[in-house]
Amino acid sequence: MRRSGIGWVLASVALAACIANAPEGLQRQTDSEGGGGESFGNANQSASSGVTTGPDTSDPHAVLGTDPPHGPFTGGQRVIIVGKGFSPDVQVWFGQAEAQDIIAIDPKTIQVTAPPGSPGEVDVITQNGDDESTRRSLPAGYTYDALYASPDQGPVAGGTVISIFGTGTTWDQGVEEARVDQKPCTTLDVLSPTELRCTVPKGTPGAKSISVITANDTTTALDAYTYADSEDGFKGGLGGDLLAGTLRVLAYDNLSGDPIGGAHVVIGNNALYEQTDETGVVEIVDPLLDDPATVTVTAECHSPITFVDVPVDTVTVYLDPVITPQCAGSGDPPPGGGNPVLTGLVTGELIWPSTQEFQKGPWSNVPPAGNDEKRIAYLYFATSNRAAPFNLPSITFSVEEDDPGNLGYGFTITSTPGNRTMYALAGIQKTTTNQFTAYAFGAVNGVAVFPGQETDEVYIDMDHALDQALTMIPSPPAPGPKGPDRLDARVVVELSQRNYAILPGMQKTPFIPLQGNLHFIGLPGLDGSLTGTRYIASAAAVTGPSLGAPLSVVSAIATTTTSVPADVSGFVAIPTLADPPSGGGWDGQNLATTYAFGGFPVDLSVYEIAAGGGLYRWVVAVPAGDHAITLPDLTS
């Protein structure tokens, strides 16, 4: 096939990073085309997440309904139970499993976290303390879904790679199809009897079902995936079976999430060349693809990306657009990108312990405010980015002591749709400087947010003091003439899988060599409602105030205690760029590095080739052992 000119000009090259990984029968509103409506309804009244209710009764004690009425078999879902006659010491069971994180809001409402269970219906049982005369049950009050997805949300353009997990399934014996909102996955890989990997098809905003179809049955979970653009999600990567003569490449725009038709796919050093179709997909069949191959993908007005020695048969890439007047066509470049996001509302209260039944409690774990100070709390949604900085949100995400509420202090905030994890920090803020010191912490998992709807009765128990200190013992590499010269060390709290709470004071950037261990003060104890969560410590040897390359990263050390220091070692040796040599020009194809003696073996090297003041970037990912590579000529 004749190759068209791509016209790529590069001015400089830099070795970006080396990374060492540490050990580690319902009809639903959202089934209609277009998802949620324009105005806010109440998610608790929609069919997809509505209350499952039993018959009314004159009994002073009763369990009448649950909201939502279903959730993943892993548990962790926030569930509101409505009924009558609940006391503050109420106990709750889902079948035989006792629920955790119980908050008795009033005699008619309880918030709990669903425990793990087996797929199917279970009775929901309540009892006030040890008084068995108050024990009541709602038959089939909650249903455990037989599968769930991670991540459970992504852009409407599709392309998000998700894992679908089951329990007791035999998917390795044959899966005919997996569907998201009745549309087949773009790619589907069977990883184990209980795990599939699916590339999500294009969809419409809202919460959708996921189905797995085998020769014997179909397993479906409602509201298991939400189409909604977000900064979170898992974009791109390598997947599928071992490379055996066929390679499938999927290309998407990293800003909008739209598929890129006509993207250029180059195999090896210009050995094979194809272009993607209008759906952003191309399948290449050639005997050269029986062995690991270098795959480069680029497109007009997009920066390229290269994966060296790809061993599998599916490559998904998200290419960064080049925002210049030439690429904008007529007129100025757009100020931003992406698809519009239809958000949801979340309303609820922050709860403090009270000595009086079903009454507001005082902010007992926050010191009194002094002159030019006030007591204030801020609400956050957990992030999948452990390296996110801590910042105070807008005032609309704050709660103060005079805010109204029934049992606590009310809030109303917006959120992107999905199964969200929320947390709150309460403390003292200087009114003159806005300096904030946090003293109390609370969190809640499994907050289901739907586009254009309101999720209400979300209660966050502010029962944890920020009084724990974690010591980190890092062993960074020695500083070199071109770096690294400092350590970027962080600690976060993992509230649920890949959902992290970013806390103040949990990032430190001392110069290396270090003068001693690092101490992170102001963490919550991992007991009570935080049982099962983890501290995640990470560190990177970095260069300059921008914390840039060359750098070496130890990505994640998990611990559940502050009584034992976190040993953060395993840094790889810092690389030195050998070709092109320092101060020399680059031939556009050849790259080579050398590594100092010592350090852990290199898992991955990432080159970032930049030009045009950073407008153009070529990212090259190289696996362990390949320290000298040749790239395709993109100028021909």
Query: pLDDT per residue over 282-330, tens digit each?
Result: 999 998 898 899 999 999 999 999 999 988 888 888 888 887 777 765 4
The pLDDT > 70 percentage for the chain reads: 86
Residue type, 559: T
Task: Provide the β-strand partners of residue 591.
Answer: 629
Q: Of the given ranges (30-39, 165-174, 445-454), which has the lowest mean pLDDT?
A: 30-39
Domain ranges of the chain: 42-145, 344-465, 468-568
Chain segment 386-443, per-residue pLDDT in tens:
889 999 999 999 999 999 998 899 999 999 888 889 999 999 999 999 999 999 999 9
CA–CA separation, 44 and 82 (whole Å) = 12
Choose the weakest-confidence range: 180-194, 224-238, 541-555. 224-238
238 SS3 class: strand
42-145: CATH, from 1.20.1510.10, 3.30.1360.120, 2.60.40.10, 3.40.190.10: 2.60.40.10
Q: What is the pLDDT of residues 24-61, one digit of tens each?
A: 333 333 333 333 333 333 443 333 344 455 555 678 99
The two structure tokens encoding residue 325: 């007047």
**pLDDT reported for residue 38:** 34
Local structure of 623: helix, strand or coil: strand
- Read off the pLDDT of residues 63-115 as tens digits, 9 standing for 90 and up: 999 988 999 999 988 899 999 999 999 999 999 999 988 988 889 999 999 99
Identify the residue whose tokens are 């892993």. 74
- Where does the pLDDT of residue 366 fall: very low under 50, low under 70, confident under 90, or very high at 90 and above? very high
The CA distances from residue 356 to 87, 368, 440, in Å, are: 12, 21, 21
- Does residue 601 come out as left (phi exceeding 0), alpha (psi in the -120 to 50 range) or beta? beta
Exposed, middle or buried, 62 (CB in 10 Å: 0-12/13-18/19+)? buried
What's this model's pTM, rounded to 2 decimal places? 0.71
Angstrom distance (rounded) from CA 228 to CA 206: 7
Name the band, by pLDDT with cuts 50, 70 and 90, for residue 164. Answer: very high
Condensed to tens digits (0 to 9), the pLDDT of residues 170-185 reads 999 989 999 999 999 9
Q: 497 pLDDT exceeds 90?
A: no
Residue 179: per-residue pLDDT: 95
Cα–Cα nearest to 149, from 89, 195, 91:
195
Q: Which residues pair with 166 in a beta bridge?
A: 147
Give me the pLDDT at residue 478, please.
Answer: 82
Q: What is the C-alpha separation between 535 and 185, in angstroms, rounded?
A: 35
